[in-house]
Amino acid sequence: MQAGDIVAAIDLGTSRTAYAYTVVGREHIWLGVPDSPDDDRNVERKTLTAVLMQRCDEDEAEGGWRVAGFGDTAEEDYLTAKADEADEDRGSLVLFKFFKMELYQGGREQRARMDVDEPTAKAVGGEVLPMIFVVSKAIEYIKNQILDRVSMIAQEDDARLMWVVTVPAIWSNFGKRFMRAASHRAGLIADENDMQGLKLCLEPEAACLAVESSNQGVGSWHPGDKIMVLDCGGGTIDITSHLVESSDPLQLSELAEPCGGAWGSSIVDTRFKAFLQEFFDNASGGMTRLEGTHELFAVTVEWERQKTRLARGASLRVSIGDIADLLELSPREIEELRKFHNDPKPKELHVGGTRRNLVLPPALVESFFRGAITAIKDEVGTQLSTPDLHDLCYIYMVGGFCASPLLQDAIREEFDDPGRDLKVVVAPRPGLAVVTGAALFGARGTGAFVSRKARLTYGVRGSRRFDHNDPEHVCREEQAVVLGDGSRVLHYFRPVVEKGGDVPVGHVVEKPLVPMHEAQVFVGLHLLVTRQEAVLYLKDVGVLVQEIASVRVPVDHAVPLRERGVEVRMEFGGTEIAVSCYKQHDGDKLLDAKVDFLEDFDPGALEGDVDGDDHRNTNGVYDGEDEPNPSPYSRQAY
């Protein structure tokens, strides 16, 4: 990127969304939210990640659906149409919320997926669409609004546009590949493997850049400082830790692999809704009549507005007038519901209020937050107990959930320690730190992050000719695989990156692939991962290895056999693993190489063994004319 080029960043979060854009060489970063007339000076928080889709004719929109709205107004428009029986659109609208959690650890079914088209998104009313269709349409909708605004600030007619899309640090390679594929289908890039036109940015790393840029009033970072970013969003909690290698220019190396879990503010929302259900279930119809109504929506909107403002010792007033009207509850009946709720509970949990208001006491309000806060504190504490982080300098709190005084106080009380020079700092406008930093990530280039920790051991499968004189081979004779020429081999794991190791950004591993005979039409390899140490022979009992990527390259029959080799280059250490293939005889890049990333959410869960024919030679290259097609997720050890 050069001065005058434009960077546009999309932060499509689990619960909330925003975008940002900037001109390279200029200081200002413009912020925006979809379907909002506000300019960047008035953007104080992200909008709801809610996609309103409308069924239409195939010739009117691809796939027979179009995006009818996005954000805070999308849910209200959906409920308005559903409530109005005269509304012609009521039967054609579906609303998708919290769909991104389907990309975390196997989704609803808790299983690995093999293809980006496999995950599904479930709408509020139960309708199901392919997940990648919903996500790509949402990104496309946001993209078009960004382009309208960018056109007003572009200074050069030939200015290039780079896109940045944020992803949680704890996501698998599959989740990252999914977002790249969705962005490609949304039209952000013409080639899915265009690593320059689209960069994926880890959310806490983006926030790290925003924090450093604003300086937070705590002094500049110095070489040797250790920092942690605690990114608390609506769905997941992301934690990354870095060592400051240099402050000018900024260079950070990762101290520990990213960690976290599904402890975002949506857990708090679930607890609040559980309270409403318990309270109103004793009324006629109860929550069954409230689900999907404007009346319940109004209460949840007010809850959303209040939940990150609630401080310790504060009660919460909830107006239930509209709900009372819908359920036909008189003031006397509301009072009876209060009594029914309060009688079996200790006094500190008693719900107060008069007539058509409920007043939730501090103890009850804080109980909604307790589970999420405890999980977050436990995870941070576990990280701080490791030797590499014992002299941590700062914990930076970012993400929308970190605006909560209850969460802030809990983290400060637990970890802010002047005695060990550890300071907890809440970023200003914490909910916008990620999207702001994502724009910086694109504008500055990726040089700020110089190395990352490998969270798994990565390797490729090799084969060794069976040796009758080698005792290690003889005891594994039943594991030997017969090749097409009648020879036998034992498969072994050849590591290229070790778990827990420091991997420089841009670390390249090259792997030659050579066809073995004239008729061979493809060469390929499989990238494997394991959490185990000292894995050697893949079919040994207890060895757990999972395939996460496959490379399939057509052989060029226009050149002699000896010149048909392919060099596969795998680049580690970045936000995502980049794989590219080149012809060995002239170095040209092969654009028709097929690279598939599979889900690696739990390699430790794989077990068992695999038998049967295999047609790869000692270089891990296919030795037959046709590629074998075993299922990579049939709980096998390779």
What structural domains does the chain harbor?
Answer: 6-202 (3.30.420.40), 266-307+316-360 (no CATH), 454-605 (2.60.34)
DSSP 34: T
Q: Residue 24: what pLDDT? A: 87
Phi/psi of residue 232, each to 5°? -110, 105
Distance, CA of 379 to CA of 160 (rounded, Å): 41
> pTM for this one?
0.86
Torsion of CA 427, 74, 267, 208, to 10 degrees: -20
CA–CA distances in Å: residue 538 to residues 236, 474, 528, 602: 34, 15, 11, 18
> What is the phi-psi region of residue 235: left when phi exceeds 0, alpha when psi lies from -120 to 50, beta otherwise?
alpha
β-strands 394-398, 357-360 pairing:
unpaired
Q: Residue 605: what pLDDT? A: 41
Long-range CB contacts (within 8 A, 24+) of 379-386: 379/237, 379/239, 379/259, 379/260, 379/261, 379/263, 380/228, 380/230, 380/239, 380/411, 380/414, 380/415, 381/414, 381/415, 382/259, 383/228, 383/239, 383/241, 383/256, 383/259, 384/415, 386/256
Q: Residue 133: what pLDDT? A: 96
Contact 436, 18 (CB under 8 A): no
Distance, CA of 236 to CA of 230 (rounded, Å): 11
pLDDT one-digit tens code per residue, 355-370: 889 999 999 999 999 9
The b/e string for 464-482 (b: 16+ C-beta within 10 A; e otherwise) is bebeeeeeebeebeebbbe
SS3 508: strand
Q: Residue 48: what pLDDT? A: 92
pLDDT one-digit tens code per residue, 427-446: 989 999 999 999 999 998 77
Helix axis angle, 266-280 relative to 294-307, nearest 10°? 130
Q: Residue 445: what pLDDT? A: 76
Residues 6+ apart with CB under 8 A from 376: 230, 232, 237, 263, 407, 410, 411
Residue 156: both structure tokens together: 């050069």
The b/e string for 157-185 (b: 16+ C-beta within 10 A; e otherwise) is eebebbbbbbbbbbbbbbbbbbbbbbbbb
SS3 517: coil
Q: Say how many Å lie between the first and final Cα of the chain, rounded.
A: 42
Torsion of CA 625, 628, 629, 634, to 10 degrees: -170
DSSP 29: E
pLDDT one-digit tens code per residue, 462-490: 878 888 888 888 888 888 888 767 778 88
Q: Residue 384: what pLDDT? A: 95
Contact 567, 582 (CB under 8 A): yes
Give the residues across from 507 on adjacent strands. 572
Residue 99, Cβ density class (10 Å: 0-12 exposed, 13-18 middle, ≥19 buried) = buried
For residue 445, which amino acid is it?
Answer: G
DSSP annotation string for 417-481: BGGGTBEEEEPSSGGGHHHHHHHHHHHH-STTEEEEE-SSEEEEEEEEE--TT-HHHHTTGGG-E
Query: How high is the mean pLDDT in each 10-residue block of the chain (638 residues)?
Result: 85 95 89 80 84 83 86 88 71 89 73 82 90 96 93 71 95 90 96 90 95 69 95 94 92 94 93 92 78 85 90 93 90 92 94 92 97 97 94 95 96 89 92 95 87 91 85 87 78 89 93 83 86 82 83 88 89 89 84 65 38 33 32 28
Residue 432: both structure tokens together: 């916008």
Distance, CA of 483 to CA of 366 (rounded, Å): 65
Please say whether the dihedral angle defined by the alpha carbons of residues 456, 458, 461 and 462, taken in this order, is positive or negative.
negative
DSSP annotation string for 160-188: -EEEEEEE-TT--HHHHHHHHHHHHHTTS
Q: How many CB atoms lie within 10 A of CB 456?
A: 21
Distance, CA of 262 to CA of 574 (rounded, Å): 24
CA atoms within 13 A on the CB side of 37: 0
Distance, CA of 403 to CA of 410 (rounded, Å): 12
DSSP annotation string for 130-156: EHHHHHHHHHHHHHHHHHHHHTTT---
Contact 340, 294 (CB under 8 A): no
Among 196, 257, 246, 202, CA closest to 433: 202
Residue 280, H or E segment: helix 266-280
Q: Residue 421: what pLDDT? A: 87
